[in-house]
Structure 1
Amino acid sequence: MSYAMIAEELLSSLGGKENVVSVAHCATRLRVMVANEEKIDKERIEDTEKVKGAFFNSGQYQIIFGTGTVNRVFEAIQGLDLETSSKSEIKEAANKQGTAFQRAIRTFSDVFVPLIPALVATGLFMGLRGLVTRPEVLAIFGLTPESIPANFILYTQILTDTAFIFLPAMVAWSASRVFGGTPLIGLVLGLMLVSPALPNAWAVGFGEADPLLFFGFIPVVGYQGSVIPAFIAGFLTAKLERRIRESCLNL
């Protein structure tokens, strides 16, 4: 089957030209925005030659072809007089679909999903450290918890605790990126939330430190372990930055 035939087969399976809003592609997938999902013949698409899978994600119907193949299919689709878009344009259109609740959930996932690998990796390191420092495991090697060097605990804490200590910075970075701001600015703002100059929130909670008093009566502490304040900070920073940028362009 030629690429032109594959393109025609896909168009028919997607419900025809009137059901296809726009088409774009990334390195391996064809990304299609459709007017009505119910008109898609999903089984027929998955049975189409060279298609390796298809699914809905973030308001887009994504058809997997693989590197190189997707470019040829996209070129064949362009010859069918369909509306084609860039990846960013089709993503922006997808973000406008669905109810307000669905869009909010999609936005939260866009912010937090990129952070999952770092948190999972450090969580695995934390579990591994807990395992190897168990008295029962140490006894196998003739050791006790007291025989573990202090430096070993310090080094493993760097591996396991860093991502969680600076979680607000990671969240602010990701939120700023998602909402169209400069990620580096979001990162710096997030680091300010956990700055060593601020009393540690955990230390204040355990009574080991006192909060700073802003204007003499507003207690101020660090935001260690806080997610929502960092998300709001990243959002507001991105919106303010975009507003300033637009104002400067209009001068």
Structure 2
Amino acid sequence: MSENHRIAEEIIAAVGGKENISSVAHCATRLRIMVDDKEKINQAEVEKIDKVKGAFYNSGQYQVILGTGTVNRIFEEVEKMGIDSASKSEQSKEAAKSGNAFQRGIRTFGDVFVPIIPVLVATGLFMGLRGLLTQEQVLGLFGLTPADISENFLLFTQILTDTAFIFLPALVAWSTFRVFGGTPIIGLVLGLMLVSPALPNAWGVATGAEPLYFFGFVPVVGYQGAVLPAFIAGILGAKFERAVRKRVPEALDLIVTPFVTLLVMIIASLFIIGPIFHAVEEYILQGTLFVLGLPLGLGGLLIGGLNQIIVVTGVHHIFNMLEIQLLEKLGYNPYNAIVTAAVAAQGGAALAVGMKTKSIKLKALALPSALSAFLGITEPAIFGVNLRYVKPFIMGLIGGAVGGFAASIFGLKATGMSITVIPGTLLYLNEQIFLYILVNLIAIGTAFVLTWMFGFTDKKLQEVE
């Protein structure tokens, strides 16, 4: 019997056996188990299993943190045991039936925006790469100056960096239709209509161009880079499409349903949804900028200190929209560096635990968890180490606050979103790299020292065990 097969058997036994499991799926780091009765889960036994970095019940699923790569191998062994597997999206639909209205709403919000994030990450990396290649110092290494860069090359980089934001409403409407049970291609076309070249460009209107006025008072513009109008249009559009489909004879469905859905929704989107929710979006942005712009680095201190608490609650996906707005409106993302400090600090706290403890098992858990945090994934460090012993988590929060304060004072501006700490360096290649590294070292160092001095001893290990 292989080690991974043994671990899979132990996990299944600890969650109540095969008869207590509806289905099993996995994401990048966690085994996600749908259980019939969560009271049958033996939390203490699960946490003692080799390679398990933590476990918790959330979003209707029992989630066992195993780490990148390891989770795939354990999942394969679970499948061999004859337990039903499900895709993550299928399981999410089942899990969405549990929890209160707020939790379900946040999960749905995450389901809409998470699939869009990879292209925005790529766009941010393109921005960082362009910033690096157009730096005067870098060009000087090749005997060039900014004047030597061809217009065609700049045009090519513009295609890489601008396309995702120009057509962002199409991506949002597509994903929203998908999540709310509509036809994704109808959502995609509706989103494309919101950025049609026939409409005044939103960025042109922002710099003085005139919008179109219907009925003499309704301003109509393109919604390039807009998030909330496309999101609301996607929700209402998907529900409207389903309502139309129920009332249309099957023989006419292919023609009538898309026609009626797009006609009604583009009228509603341009004349009602767009103007109202674009204004709401602007208020949200201004509120975000107010917090980020609090004097003396206070905004960074607050966000850096509270961010990982929000991660624990599982509602952090709601901030995806804010980061998208910052990038679209400002061209940079000051939120990322602050969040990076919060992530790095939890890694620093886990590193201190791993280096200070004499327990071989805890070292084997804490040190890889710290590395995972330094690669931008904090769940193993938080749930496997820091939150289990409480004080390391608190010291990590303090480290995040101090690092966030430094990021705010230094005025760091990421070119993208969603990648942090070591991978996040790619978002700061435009002459900010040394300050970015310094912020990470401040966060890690603060959390490490505080945890080493006040946050952990092996006596705490004995208490928890």
- TM > 0.5 between the two? yes
Which residue is equivalent to 2:78? 70
Q: 1:177 to 1:53 in 2, by over 3 A?
A: farther
Is the 1:33–1:90 contact (alpha carbons within 8 Å) kept by the matching residues of 2?
no
* Cα deviation, residue 24, structure 1: 1.4
Determine if contact 2:202/2:224 at 8 Å carries over to the other structure.
yes
Figure out how many residues of one structure are paired with residues of the other and give that number: 238
More helix by share: 2
Deviations 1:73-111 (A, max 9, x none): 2x2x5xxxxxx7965664333102112111111111111
Output the CA distance in 2 between the equivalents of 1:43 and 1:99.
27
1:23 aligns with 2:31: no
The CA RMSD over aligned residues, in Å, is 3.4
**CA offset at residue 128 of structure 1?**
1.1
Q: Mapping of 1:175-190 within 5 angstroms?
A: 175-190=176-191
Mapped to 1, the partners of 2:143 and 2:10 lie a distance apart of 68
CA shift for structure 1 position 171: 0.7
Shift of residue 245, structure 1, vs aligned partner: 2.3
SS of the residue corresponding to residue 225 of structure 1 reads coil
2:236 is paired with a residue of what secondary structure?
helix
Give the counterpart letter for 2:185 in structure 1: L
Hey, what's the Cα distance between the residues in 1 that align with 2:160 and 2:104?
35
Tell me whether 1:205 sits opposite 2:213 in the alignment. no
Judge conservation of contact 1:23–1:90 (CA < 8 Å) in 2.
no
Q: What is the CA distance between 1:158 and its match in structure 2?
A: 0.5
Matches within 5 A, 1:157-172: 157-172=158-173
Structure 2 match to 1:146: 147
Which residue matches 1:80? Answer: none
Distance 1:55 1:238, change over 3 A: farther
**Mapping of 1:75-154 within 5 angstroms?**
75=82, 90-154=91-155
Q: Cα distance, 1:62 vs. partner?
A: 4.1
Contact 2:191 2:230 survives alignment (8 Å)? yes
How far is the alpha carbon of 1:213 from its aligned partner?
Answer: 1.1
Unaligned runs of 5+ in 1: 78-83
Q: Is the 8 A contact 1:181 1:242 kept in 2?
A: yes
Give aligned-pair identity as a percent: 60
Letter in 2 for 1:72: K
Contact kept, 8 Å, 2:176 with 2:235, in 1: the verdict is: yes
Q: Tell whether the 8 Å contact from 1:179 to 1:239 is kept in structure 2 after alignment.
A: yes
CA displacement 1:29-63 (0-9 Å, x = unmatched): 56323444x652234235558x8677455321245
Q: What's the CA shift string for 1:13-39, capped at 9, x where partnerless?
A: 225799x4x511347956323444x65
Distance in 2, matches of 1:126 and 1:101, equals: 35
For each residue in 1:106-129, what CA deviation from the matched residue of structure 2 results, as whole angstroms up to 9, or x when unmatched? 111111111111101110110110
Q: Measured at CA, do residues 248 and 214 of structure 1 come closer, stay the same or move farther in structure 2, by a change above 3 Å?
A: same
Paired letter, 1:33: V
Structure with higher strand content: 1
> Is 1:228 aligned to residue 228 of structure 2?
yes
Partners of 2:110 and 2:133 in 1: CA distance: 34
TM norm structure 2: 0.45
Aligned mates of 2:237, 2:188 — CA distance in 1: 11
Judge conservation of contact 1:200–1:224 (CA < 8 Å) in 2: yes
Given residue 79 of structure 2, which amino acid in structure 1 is its aligned partner? Answer: N
Report the CA distance between 1:235 and its aligned residue.
0.9
| Contact 1:31–1:62 (CA under 8 A) maintained in structure 2 | yes
Is the contact between residue 201 and residue 222 of structure 1 (CA under 8 Å) also seen in structure 2?
Answer: yes
Q: Secondary structure at the match of 2:23?
A: strand
Letter in 2 for 1:247: R
TM-score by length of 1: 0.79
Distance 1:65 1:224, change over 3 A: closer
Give the conservation status (yes or no) of the 8 Å contact 1:54–1:61.
Answer: no
Contact 1:211 1:220 in 2 (8 A): yes
Instruction: Pick which of 160-169 and 92-101 moved more.
Output: 92-101
1:237 equivalent to 2:237? Answer yes
